[in-house]
Amino acid sequence: MTSATADCIPLLPIEELARRRRRHESSVGDIWDLLDNVMDPEIPVISLYELGVLQDISREGNAVKLVLTPTYIGCPALGIMEEDARAALTAGGYHQVIVETRLAPAWTTAWLTPEARRKMTAYGVASPEKGGIACPQCGSVNTEVISEFGSTACKSLFRCVACHEPFDVFKAI
Amino acid sequence: MKLHDPLTRYVVRLGDDALIMGHRLSEWMSRAPFLEEDIALSNVALDFVGRARLFYQYAADLMGGEVTENTFAYQRDVRDFTNLLLCELPRGDFAFTLCRQFLYDAYSLPFTQALCKSADSQLAAIAAKAEKESRYHLRRSRDWMLRLGDGTAESHERCQNALDQLWIYTDEMFECDALLDGLIATGVAVNTASLRSEWLDTVTETLHAATLVIPEAQGGVTGGREGIHTDDLGFLLAEMQFMQRAYPGLQW
């Protein structure tokens, strides 16, 4: 019933490889770079690209077209992400912006890079690893769940048994 | 609002399940037994309302014209809603809400898994997102069944009472009708009848572990798919739709 896949983050999936290749081979590398400054509104240390929400960028005539994939269906932050991306593009001289929301392939925590996860941990948000969930304060893996759901749709709430600090954990889906 | 196209009717049906379930969960905001659980219930509510929006947006795209996602949520009356009766029952006590959630999540997970294989690519895409959330929902609601069922004498009693009341509404989840039969034939809809044994396995395993007893009640109550509802849905809609009914087209 409940599968082990929900408890750990597997290897880099093929769709994430394809996304990175899209950026690598893109003719609009400067726009990708520009949008590296647009951060997740709730975890403002990782960019929309690092989060996996920014899927593709292309030019359509004078317009810039962004493809975004929501993390959670009902996540209220997606609207903010879109606004922030538009503002960054306008500031960078791109005034016409088209945003397409794409559902498939569905977003997963597996798209997060190790570097993005390190940044999140430094910010105080743990991410599930094979060895268990480590406290971002003291590093102990002696931790326990307080609630499967936390302060935002993408987080659950844990407590460190060693140092007693409560902390957010990025939900693995 | 009369819908004729079978695909649109099916998509709206799925949206109705999600919206009504999400609204019932949202009623717990600021009323849950403790803070973390308040947040959890709101989060699950958000997942369901988000799911409803995707289905309604898709239905609006299929219909074209002036119809938007809001048209389906705010401008239809009780007989136009085709959600499962299970979803509309008043929230009851905490045990009732969690028990309903568990019975639905145990259905929703195999349902969304099956819908991922739909011949309709948009439905498959919505399902692929919803499935991940349903897996998470089920993990939490199953855990609560264990805690309440195998908890104190009072939590056990409340949980068993909830189960006894809810059981007659579970048949409807697996009911097939003419609309479904047509869409199953074209590979669009999920054959819900085929999900029953997996659902029953999950439920039986969990209830056993939670020291709860599967009710013997027979004869399921149905009608939601045809717009025949309990009195309670009307009250829910009166509250949910009030603002748009009083001030049509109002925006934040």
CATH number at residue B103: 1.20.1260.10
pLDDT value of position A3: 43
Q: Is B124 an interface residue toward A (CB < 8 Å)?
A: yes
User: Residue B1 domain-assigned?
Assistant: no
Residue B195 is part of which domain span?
6-246
pLDDT band at A7 (very low <50, low <70, confident <90, very high): low
pLDDT value of position B252: 76
Q: Is B144 an interface residue toward A (CB < 8 Å)?
A: no
Question: How many pairs of residues across A and B have Cβ atoms under 8 Å apart?
Answer: 84
pLDDT value of position A11: 66
User: Residue B187 domain-assigned?
Assistant: yes
B36 min Cα distance to partner chain A (Å): 6
| Spatial contact of B155 and B162, defined as CB atoms under 8 Å apart | no
ipTM: 0.71
User: Residue B69 domain-assigned?
Assistant: yes
Q: Is A138 an interface residue toward B (CB < 8 Å)?
A: no
Q: What is the pLDDT of residues A28-77, one digit of tens each?
A: 999 999 999 999 998 999 999 999 999 999 999 999 999 999 888 878 88
Nearest-10 crossing angle of helices B6-26, B178-185: 120
Q: For the residues B28-35, what does the mean pLDDT come to?
A: 93
User: Residue B241 domain-assigned?
Assistant: yes
pLDDT value of position A49: 95
User: Residue B213 domain-assigned?
Assistant: yes
Task: Tell me the domain boundaries of chain A.
Answer: 4-108, 111-170
User: Residue B251 domain-assigned?
Assistant: no
| Chain A contacts in chain B segment 152-191 (CB below 8 A) | none
| Spatial contact of B214 and B159, defined as CB atoms under 8 Å apart | no
User: Residue B111 domain-assigned?
Assistant: yes
Of A73, A103, A151, the CB nearest to B133: A73
Q: Is the pLDDT of residue A4 over 60?
A: no
DSSP string, A27-87: S-HHHHHHHTT-B-SSSTTSBHHHHT-EEEEEEETTEEEEEE--SSTT-THHHHHHHHHHH
pLDDT value of position A10: 55
pLDDT band at A2 (very low <50, low <70, confident <90, very high): very low
Fold classification of A4-108 (topology level) = GMP Synthetase; Chain A, domain 3 (3.30.300)
Q: Is the pLDDT of residue A1 over 80?
A: no
Q: How many domains does chain B have?
A: 1
HEC assignment per residue over B100-111? HHHHHHHHHHHH
Closest B-chain CA to A103: B125
Q: What is the pLDDT of residues A83-125, one digit of tens each?
A: 999 999 999 999 999 999 998 888 988 888 888 889 999 999 9
Q: Is A103 an interface residue toward B (CB < 8 Å)?
A: yes
Q: What is the pLDDT of residues B101-148, one digit of tens each?
A: 999 999 999 999 999 999 999 999 999 999 999 999 999 999 999 999
Q: Is A72 an interface residue toward B (CB < 8 Å)?
A: yes
A30 min Cα distance to partner chain B (Å): 31
Of B44, B125, B136, the CB nearest to A103: B125
Q: Is the pLDDT of residue A9 over 80?
A: no
Of B46, B135, B202, the CB nearest to A74: B46
Of B36, B122, B128, the CB nearest to A106: B128
